[in-house]
Amino acid sequence: MSPAPRRILITTRLFDDAAARYLAEHDCVAVPSGLPADALDSDIPDAALSALLEGAVGWIVGQRAVTREILAAHPDLKVIARRGVGYDRVDIAGARALGRIVTIAAGANDPAVADHTLAMILAVLRRLKESAIAIAADDWRVVSGFDLTGKTVGLVGLGRIGKAVARRLHGFDTKVLVATRTPDPDFPFVEYVPLDDLIARSDVVSLHAPLGPETRHLIGAAALAAMKPHAVLVNTSRGGLVDDRALLAALEAGRLGGAGLDVFEAEADPALKPVAAALAARPDVVATAHASGSSGEALARGNLISAQCVVAALDGLAMPPGCLVAGG
**Closest C-alpha to 83, from 15, 35, 149, 144:** 15
255 flagged as catalytic: no
Task: Please give the DSSP secondary-structure letter assigned to residue 287.
Answer: E
Residue type, 244: D
Average per-residue pLDDT for the chain:
95
Q: What is the mean pLDDT of residues 80-93?
A: 89
pLDDT in tens, 199-241: 999 999 999 999 999 999 999 999 999 999 999 999 999 999 9
Model pLDDT, residue 85: 83
The stretches of 12-109 forming alpha helices (DSSP H) are: 17-25, 46-53, 68-73, 92-97
Percent of the chain past pLDDT 90, that is, above it, reads 90
88 compared with 115, residue with greater pLDDT: 115
Residue 175 predicted with pLDDT over 70 = yes
Name the pTM for this structure.
Answer: 0.90
238 flagged as catalytic: yes
Model pLDDT, residue 13: 87
26, 238, 265, 301: the catalytic one is 238
267, 282, 297, 301: the catalytic one is 267
Percent of the chain past pLDDT 70, that is, above it, reads 99
Taken in order of first residue, the domains within the chain and their CATH numbers are 6-108+295-325 (3.40.50.720), 110-287 (3.40.50.720)
pLDDT in tens, 244-276: 999 999 999 999 999 999 999 999 899 999 999
Distance CA 84, CA 71 (A): 19
CB 244 within 8 Å of CB 276: yes
Please state the φ and ψ torsions of residue 128, each to the nearest 5 degrees: -65, -40
> What are 154's strand-pairing partners?
177, 205
Model pLDDT, residue 173: 95
**Residue 89 pLDDT grade (very low, low, confident, very high; cuts 50, 70, 90):** confident
Distance CA 82, CA 105 (A): 7
Q: What is the mean pLDDT of residues 134-162?
A: 97
Model pLDDT, residue 2: 62
Distance CA 314, CA 169 (A): 41
Distance CA 61, CA 81 (A): 6
Q: What is the mean pLDDT of residues 304-312?
A: 98
126, 160, 245, 290: the catalytic one is 290
> What are 192's strand-pairing partners?
178
83 flagged as catalytic: no
> What are 79's strand-pairing partners?
58, 101
